[in-house]
Amino acid sequence: MGFTAIKNILAGKYENQEVNVRGWIYRTRSSGKLAFITIRDSSGIIQVTIAKENVPAKDFESATKALIESSAAVKGVVAKDKRAPGGYELRAKSFEVTGNADVFPITEHQSEELLLDNRHLWIRSRELVNAMKVKASLLKYCREWFNENNFYEVTPPTITPSACEGGTTLFEFNYFDKKAYLSQSAQLYLEALIYSLERVWSLTPSFRAEKSKTRRHLAEYWHLEAEEAWVNHEENMKIQEKLISHVCQKLAKEDKDELVFFKREPGTLKNIEPPFERIKYESAVKILKDKGFNFNYGMDFGTKEESALCSDIEKPVFITNFPKTVKPFYMKEADEKTYLCADLLAPEGYGEIIGGSERETDYNKLVERMKEQNMNMKDYEWYLDLRKYGSVQHSGFGLGLERIIRWLCKLEHIRDAVPFPRTINRVYP
Ligand code: 4AD
Ligand code: MG
C-alpha cells in the first residue's frame, strides 16, 4: 500500500478507508491514553488521533514523546469529524516515528532575525510553503504560455564580461585572473539569440549589488526575460499583457487555496485582462505633482513615487516613454528626449514588476550613446556586431518573479518570495 497525500484525504476521497500517511509533526498534545498529533506533508495538514489501546505499545510511547518536526509514518482509518481542522481525522492503527527532532529552535512570535538565521528550517512554515507553491505555479503557467506562443526557451550565461543595466549594481569577481561580473540581465544574450530563434525566453538568476535596504530589492532574484524579433514597442506590451493575464487567470482557477491563505481574493486576479492602461512618463510626473510630490521631469521613480502611481488601480499599468537620462543605453528612442520603453506597475501599490523596451537597431546611434556613457566599447564589440549582420526591429522585457509573487501573495517583504534570500546584509544560510 502506497502513501496518500493529505490534501486528497481532506478532499473527502478516503472516508472510512485505511490509508498510510507520512510527514512531519506539526502540533502535538496528549492526555493519558489519547494523543492528538497533527501531521503535515507537502500537500496539507491532518489531525491524527492515537488511542493507546489501538496501536502497538511502543508506537504510543514514541508518539507521545516525539517533539514537533519529528518525521513520522502513520497507518490509520479516515474518519469524518467536524471538530478536526479540515473536517477529517486519521484514527491511527500504527504510528512510527521515523526521525526524532531536537527541540525546534523556532517557536511562535520569533524575531525576524532569528527566522532568517534559521531560514533552512523556517521554509517549512505555512507562509513560505504557500509562497513557494504559488511560485511553482507561476513558473508552470509562464512556461505554458511561452510554449503556446512559439517562444523557444534558451539558456544564456550568468557569468558576463560587462554590464547590461549600468555599473552601479554590478557584482564583480575574479575570473581566472580576469574581471568578470554576475549577470544583471540576460537581455544582451537574448538579443543575440533572436537571430537564430526569433522569439526566445529564459529564466535565470539575476544579480544586483543593491546598496539600499528595501522591501522590494534582492541581491539575487529570478528573472524571466523574453526577446522578440520583428516586434515593436506596442506589440511588446501586448505580449506582456497576455502573459500576465494568462498567469492570473490560471492562478485564480487552479491555486485558490494558496491565494486565499494570503488573503488574495482569486476574483481580483480574474479581472486582470488586457488592455492595461498606458500612461506616459510625462503624464505620470503631472499625477505625482498633483499628489503633492516634489518630483520633476528627468528624475527616476523611487518606491514612494511608484506606489503613488499604482496604489488605487485594479489592473497593472504601463508607464511609457521614460526620459533617456533614467534608462540604459540599449533602448530605441521615441523622440529626442524619450525612449520606446515601459515599466509595468502592479496594482495596490506594489510597483514595478516588468521592465521592457524596443531596442536600438542603429549601429551608429548605439556607439554614440555608449561613448556618452563612457562604456568600454571593447567589451561590447560582440553586441554591436548584432547591428552589423542583419539587424531587425526587436523588443523584449524582463519580469522579476519575486516582485510578481510579492504582489500576488500580498507579501510585506520580497524576501519571502524566495526560500534563501540574498540581501545587502545576508548570505547565510
Ligand atoms: O527593469 P530591469 O532592470 O530591466 C532589465 O534588466 C532589462 N534588461 C530586462 C529586459 O528587458 N530583458 O529589471 C527587470 C525586472 C524589474 O522590472 C523587476 O521586476 C526585477 O527585474 N528586478 C528586481 N527584482 C528583485 N530584486 C531586484 N534588485 C530587482 N531589480 C530588478
Ligand atoms: Mg526597471
CATH code of 372's domain: 3.30.930.10
Strand-pair partners of 153: 201
User: How far, in Å, is the centroid of ligand 2 from the Cα of 351?
Assistant: 10
165 Cβ closer than 6 Å to some ligand 1 atom: yes
Hey, what's the torsion of the CAs at 226, 227, 229, 231, to 10 degrees?
70
Indicate whether 152 and 71 sit together in one domain: no
Q: Which of these three, 64, 99, 134, is where a domain ends? A: 99
315 Cβ closer than 6 Å to some ligand 1 atom: no
156 Cβ closer than 6 Å to some ligand 1 atom: no
90 falls within a domain:
yes
59 falls within a domain:
yes
110 falls within a domain:
no
List phi, psi (to 5°) of 46: -135, 150
User: How far, in Å, is the centroid of ligand 2 from the Cα of 196?
Assistant: 27
C-alpha cell at 338: 524619450
Cβ-proximal residues to 406 (8 Å cutoff; 6+ apart), any chain: 216, 350, 413, 414, 416, 417
CATH number, domain at 95? 2.40.50.140
- Residue 171's pLDDT is 97
Q: Which of 406, 413, 350 is nearest to 112 (CA)?
A: 413
Hey, what's the torsion of the CAs at 100, 103, 104, 107, to 10 degrees?
140
Domain residue limits at 10:
6-99
- pLDDT per position as a tens digit, 58-101: 999 999 999 999 999 999 999 999 999 899 999 999 999 999 99
User: How far, in Å, is the centroid of ligand 2 from the Cα of 360?
Assistant: 17
State how far the alpha carbon of 257 is from the alpha carbons of 166, 240, 273, 417, in Å: 41, 26, 22, 17
Give the span between the Cα atoms of 300 and 289, in whole angstroms: 14
Give the span between the Cα atoms of 359 and 337, in whole angstroms: 16
106 falls within a domain:
no
188 Cβ closer than 6 Å to some ligand 1 atom: no
User: How far, in Å, is the centroid of ligand 2 from the Cα of 269?
Assistant: 23
Check pLDDT > 80 for residue 1.
no
Q: Whose CA is nearest to atom 21 of ligand 1?
A: 400
Closest listed ligand to the CA of 165: 1
C-alpha cell at 93: 492503527
User: How far, in Å, is the centroid of ligand 2 from the Cα of 343?
Assistant: 6
- Residue 212's pLDDT is 82
Indicate whether 91 and 136 sit together in one domain: no
- pLDDT per position as a tens digit, 8-22: 999 999 999 999 999
C-alpha of 370 from chain center:
32
Indicate whether 94 and 128 sit together in one domain: no
Give the span between the Cα atoms of 334 and 183, in whole angstroms: 27
354 Cβ closer than 6 Å to some ligand 1 atom: yes
Indicate whether 239 and 181 sit together in one domain: yes
Indicate whether 219 and 84 sit together in one domain: no
- Residue 108's pLDDT is 87
Length of the chain: 429
Q: Are 106 and 112 in contact (CB under 8 A)?
A: no
Percent of all residues in the chain with a pLDDT value above 90, rounded to a whole number: 97
List phi, psi (to 5°) of 77: -105, 135
Indicate whether 264 and 393 sit together in one domain: yes
Question: pTM, whole model, 2 decimals?
Answer: 0.97
User: How far, in Å, is the centroid of ligand 2 from the Cα of 90?
Assistant: 51
Q: Whose CA is nearest to atom 29 of ligand 1?
A: 217
Check pLDDT > 90 for residue 225.
yes
Q: Whose CA is nearest to atom 7 of ligand 1?
A: 398
Of 221, 300, 358, 413, best ligand 1 pocket probe by most atoms within 8 Å of the beta carbon: 221
57 falls within a domain:
yes
C-alpha cell at 111: 524575531
Q: Which of 319, 320, 317, 303 is nearest to 347 (CA)?
A: 317
C-alpha cell at 392: 531587425
Give the span between the Cα atoms of 182 and 251, in whole angstroms: 32
Indicate whether 208 and 280 sit together in one domain: yes
Q: Which numbered atom of ligand 1 lies nearest the CA of 401? A: 19
Cβ-proximal residues to 31 (8 Å cutoff; 6+ apart), any chain: none
DSSP per position, 213-264: --SS--SEEEEEEEEEET--HHHHHHHHHHHHHHHHHHHHHH-HHHHHHTT-
104 falls within a domain:
no
Query: From start to end of 64-210, where are the E strands?
Result: 71-80, 88-99, 152-153, 159-160, 172-175, 178-182, 199-207
Give the span between the Cα atoms of 250 and 160, in whole angstroms: 35
- Residue 174's pLDDT is 98
Give the span between the Cα atoms of 171 and 154, in whole angstroms: 23
- pLDDT per position as a tens digit, 364-395: 999 999 999 999 999 999 999 999 999 999 99
Indicate whether 54 and 157 sit together in one domain: no
156 falls within a domain:
yes
What's the pLDDT band for 268 if we cut at 50, 70, 90? very high
Cβ-proximal residues to 98 (8 Å cutoff; 6+ apart), any chain: 22, 70, 71, 72, 73
Indicate whether 143 and 229 sit together in one domain: yes
Indicate whether 388 and 296 sit together in one domain: yes
Closest listed ligand to the CA of 351: 1
User: How far, in Å, is the centroid of ligand 1 from the Cα of 337?
Assistant: 23
User: How far, in Å, is the centroid of ligand 2 from the Cα of 290?
Assistant: 24
Q: Which of these three, 99, 128, 159, is where a domain ends? A: 99
Closest listed ligand to the CA of 407: 1
Indicate whether 230 and 93 sit together in one domain: no
Based on the structure, what is the number of domains in the chain?
2
C-alpha cell at 87: 473536517
Q: Which numbered atom of ligand 1 lies nearest the CA of 343? A: 17
112 falls within a domain:
no
Indicate whether 77 and 124 sit together in one domain: no
Give the span between the Cα atoms of 409 and 131, in whole angstroms: 7
- Residue 41's pLDDT is 98
